């Protein structure tokens, strides 16, 4: 009875949604790509919570809850507004963006800079913001703030938690083998603090990102880097002190800012981008866009109950194969925003990239993170584009398990193990490794590392020794990666698209149709999926990130993953 009721509810909601979509589609047709709008508009960007790199698989989510616009939707809307005579300005309300990384901020900053070059103003309005949010706002012509605003411009920090002490107390032994001087993901479980290489790597990343942060604010606010550093050292600020320090231009409320826009109409980025995009039933050249977003796992892509998502090798490989076999698709842009994950799943995707490249150009656009397995899937492409603040590299591997023997003893649990085969207990959660088992795991990790470096050398047209020297699990920012020859150009998705057009011999000024693969799921598929969705666990972001990849351990597969969960505030 409950199942029948659920089906009735699904059918009812589907009918309502289909009707709404039909009415919305008809409205767009009648408007002729926004032709019904007035000639006096401004684009309103309200940024809070998250800016997803990958757009939702369907618009059905908007029926149940507010969905934030994706990064591509935001950038598209800003770029279209720059050339649209009906849009006179941008107003950007910036609040806390805890999940957005530095590359996301840079891609938005670049779009705002292009908008300003069209001769139109962009205004930021702050209520509460931290370092990343102010970094984004500094790309605008003017920055306004509430009188009671909090502007927490305090400099960058990175926090890394270590759990060896906790594991020792509960009788859990972390056993790992990794290859690469800097491949220190297991350190969170095997150490009580930074090792020398771990600290060296973190200091270098902070130096690179802090330099980018200071330089961008100095340029946007017309200050010297020394002046900006002095302002940072004086933070945090409230509204009046931020005004005095020159961080904001004026204190006013949002309605007062809107009043200065002479009764212009507000446009949302989602609606505006859709109308500007048109319907796609035309003869424009097609370029496929395939996302690798989240931890890389074998099988199908899926959402994680701990937040975020998983990029399934089957899902991504099928999308690449479809793009390769479709004669109407001229090139492929692979958008990677992933810390890596399963080494074998990464290789499945790498293989499809290599096959696709034999048929048509493949250009990689890197998001906030494209490290380890995220770099593995990218290295076989024709060209790699990254933002200066992208976290990439981490060419290395590790694998291991947690031995729970001591914990079981504390809990009064005993276990007897019967085996056939010398190494039958190698992946037992109860039995610690023998010296022979550890040596065998080490051999497997070394073999995978050599394959990783060899393929990186082939993809980047370098000698093995040269790649090995900059590999070792070392993580780089995008600007450092370009300097080391791991990426080709610095920029965002728009630059990757231009390179794909160029390699596909599509005219520079010629418009293209970007086709996202795999195609969006049907309405019914989305509704049925949502029946089984549970509420995401309300855990801190760093704990959720730790659990997501810790759950991948213990099955013996090599993990090509970022050597730590990097969160720089």
For 500, residues 6+ apart whose C-beta sits below 8 A from its C-beta are: 287, 331, 332, 333, 361, 363
Buried b (16+ CB within 10 A) or exposed e, 398-407: bbbbbbbbbb
Task: State how far the Cα of 390 lies from the Cα of 490, in Å rounded to an integer.
Answer: 10
List Cα–Cα distances, 22 to 25, 135, 469, in angstroms.
5, 41, 57
Task: Name the DSSP letter for residue 9.
Answer: H
Neighbours of 550 (CB within 10 A): 13
What is the full DSSP assignment across 331-393?
A: EEEEEEEE-EEEHHHHHHHHHHHHHHHHHS-EEEEEEEEEETHHHHTTTTSSEEEE-TT-EEE
Active site residues: 183, 372
Give φ, ψ of 537 to 5 degrees.
Answer: -65, 130
Q: Are the C-beta atoms of 328 and 374 separated by less than 8 Å? A: no
Task: Name the DSSP letter for residue 172.
Answer: -
pLDDT tens-digit profile, the chain (569 residues): 444 444 444 444 444 444 444 444 434 433 444 555 678 899 999 999 889 998 876 555 544 456 789 999 999 999 999 999 999 999 999 998 988 999 999 999 999 999 999 999 999 999 999 999 999 999 999 999 999 999 999 999 999 999 999 999 999 999 999 999 998 888 999 999 999 999 999 999 999 999 999 999 999 999 999 999 999 999 999 999 999 999 999 999 999 999 999 888 999 998 887 777 655 556 889 999 999 999 999 999 887 655 568 899 999 999 999 999 999 999 999 999 999 999 999 999 999 999 999 999 999 999 999 999 999 999 999 999 999 999 999 999 999 999 999 999 999 999 999 999 998 999 999 999 999 999 999 999 999 999 999 999 999 999 999 999 999 999 999 999 999 999 999 999 999 999 999 999 999 889 999 999 988 665 555 555 544 444 344 455 555 555 555 555 555 566 666 655 666 65
List Cα–Cα distances, 239 to 126, 143, 146, 231, in angstroms.
9, 11, 6, 14
Is 91 in a helix, a strand, or coil?
Answer: strand
Task: State how far the Cα of 344 lies from the Cα of 312, in Å rounded to an integer.
Answer: 11
The C-alpha angle with vertex 115 and arms to 114 and 116, in degrees rounded to 5, equals 90
For 512, residues 6+ apart whose C-beta sits below 8 A from its C-beta are: 284, 285, 286, 287, 330, 497, 501, 506
List Cα–Cα distances, 482 to 45, 209, 256, 279, 490, in angstroms.
31, 15, 44, 37, 8
* Residue 352 confidence (pLDDT): 98
- How many contiguous H segments (helices) and E segments (strands) does the chain have? 22, 22
Q: Are the C-beta atoms of 150 and 284 separated by less than 8 Å? A: no
**CATH tag, 279-523+540-561:** 3.90.226.10
Nearest to residue 153, comparing CAs of 173, 126, 180? 126
Nearest to residue 161, comparing CAs of 463, 569, 567? 567
* DSSP H or E run through 64: helix 61-64
* Residue 385 confidence (pLDDT): 99
- For tokens 């076999």, the residue is 325
Give φ, ψ of 203 to 5 degrees.
Answer: -60, -40
Neighbours of 354 (CB within 10 A): 17
Domain ranges, ordered by start, for the chain: 279-523+540-561
Nearest to residue 338, comparing CAs of 376, 299, 370? 370
- For tokens 């107390």, the residue is 169
* Residue 428 confidence (pLDDT): 92
Task: State how far the Cα of 429 lies from the Cα of 198, in Å rounded to an integer.
Answer: 27
Task: State how far the Cα of 357 lies from the Cα of 336, in Å rounded to an integer.
Answer: 16
* Residue 525 confidence (pLDDT): 55
pTM here is 0.86
* Residue 1 confidence (pLDDT): 45
Is 476 in a helix, a strand, or coil?
Answer: strand
- For tokens 């040596």, the residue is 439
């Amino acid at each position: 009875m409950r199942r029948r009721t659920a089906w009735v509810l699904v059918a009812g909601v589907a009918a309502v949604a289909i009707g709404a979509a039909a009415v919305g589609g008809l409205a767009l047709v009648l408007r002729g790509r926004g032709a019904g709008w007035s000639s006096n508009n401004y684009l309103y960007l309200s940024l809070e919570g998250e800016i997803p790199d990958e757009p939702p698989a369907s618009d059905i989510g908007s029926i149940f809850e507010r969905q934030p616009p994706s990064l591509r939707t935001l950038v598209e809307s800003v770029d279209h507004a720059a050339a649209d005579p009906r849009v006179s300005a941008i107003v950007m309300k910036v609040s806390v963006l805890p999940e957005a990384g530095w590359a996301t901020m840079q891609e938005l900053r670049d779009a705002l800079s292009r908008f300003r070059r069209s001769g139109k103003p962009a205004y930021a309005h702050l209520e509460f913001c931290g370092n990343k949010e102010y970094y984004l706002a500094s790309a605008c012509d003017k920055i306004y703030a509430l009188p009671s605003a909090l502007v927490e411009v305090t400099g960058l920090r990175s926090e890394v938690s270590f759990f060896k002490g906790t594991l020792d107390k509960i009788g859990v032994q972390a056993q790992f083998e990794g290859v690469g001087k800097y491949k220190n993901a297991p350190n969170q479980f095997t150490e009580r603090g930074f090792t020398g290489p771990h600290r060296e790597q973190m200091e270098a990343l902070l130096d690179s990102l802090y330099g980018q942060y200071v330089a961008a604010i100095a340029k946007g606010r017309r200050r010297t880097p020394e002046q900006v550093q002095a302002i940072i050292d004086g933070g945090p600020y409230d509204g009046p002190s931020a005004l005095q320090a020159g961080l904001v231009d004026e204190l006013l409320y949002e309605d007062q800012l809107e009043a200065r826009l002479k009764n212009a109409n507000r446009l949302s980025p989602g609606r505006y981008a859709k109308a500007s995009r048109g319907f796609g039933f035309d003869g424009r050249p097609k370029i496929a866009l395939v996302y690798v977003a989240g931890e890389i796992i074998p099988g199908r892509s899926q959402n994680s109950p701990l937040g975020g998502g998983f990029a399934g090798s089957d899902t991504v490989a099928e999308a690449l194969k479809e793009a390769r076999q479709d004669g109407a698709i001229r090139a492929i842009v692979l958008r990677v925003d992933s810390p890596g994950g399963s080494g074998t799943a990464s290789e499945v995707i790498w293989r499809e990239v290599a096959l696709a490249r034999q048929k048509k150009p493949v250009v990689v656009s890197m998001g906030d993170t494209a490290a380890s397995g995220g770099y593995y899937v990218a290295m076989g492409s024709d060209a790699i584009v990254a933002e200066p603040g992208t976290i990439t590299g981490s060419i290395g591997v590790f694998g291991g398990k947690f031995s729970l023997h001591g914990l079981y003893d504390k809990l009064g649990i005993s276990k007897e193990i019967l085996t056939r085969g010398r190494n039958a207990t190698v992946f037992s959660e109860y039995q610690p490794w023998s010296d022979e088992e550890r040596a065998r795991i080490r051999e497997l990790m070394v073999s995978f590392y050599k394959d990783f470096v060899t393929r990186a050398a082939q993809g980047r047209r370098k000698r093995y020794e040269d790649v090995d020297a900059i590999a070792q699990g070392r993580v780089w920012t995008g600007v450092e990666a370009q300097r080391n020859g791991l990426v080709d150009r610095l920029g965002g998705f728009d630059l990757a698209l231009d390179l794909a057009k160029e390699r596909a011999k599509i005219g520079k000024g010629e418009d293209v149709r970007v086709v996202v693969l795999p195609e969006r799921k049907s309405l019914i598929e989305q509704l049925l999926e949502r029946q089984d969705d549970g509420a995401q666990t309300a855990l801190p972001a760093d704990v959720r990130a730790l659990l997501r990849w810790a759950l991948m351990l213990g099955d013996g597969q090599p993990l090509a993953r970022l050597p730590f969960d990097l969160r720089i505030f």
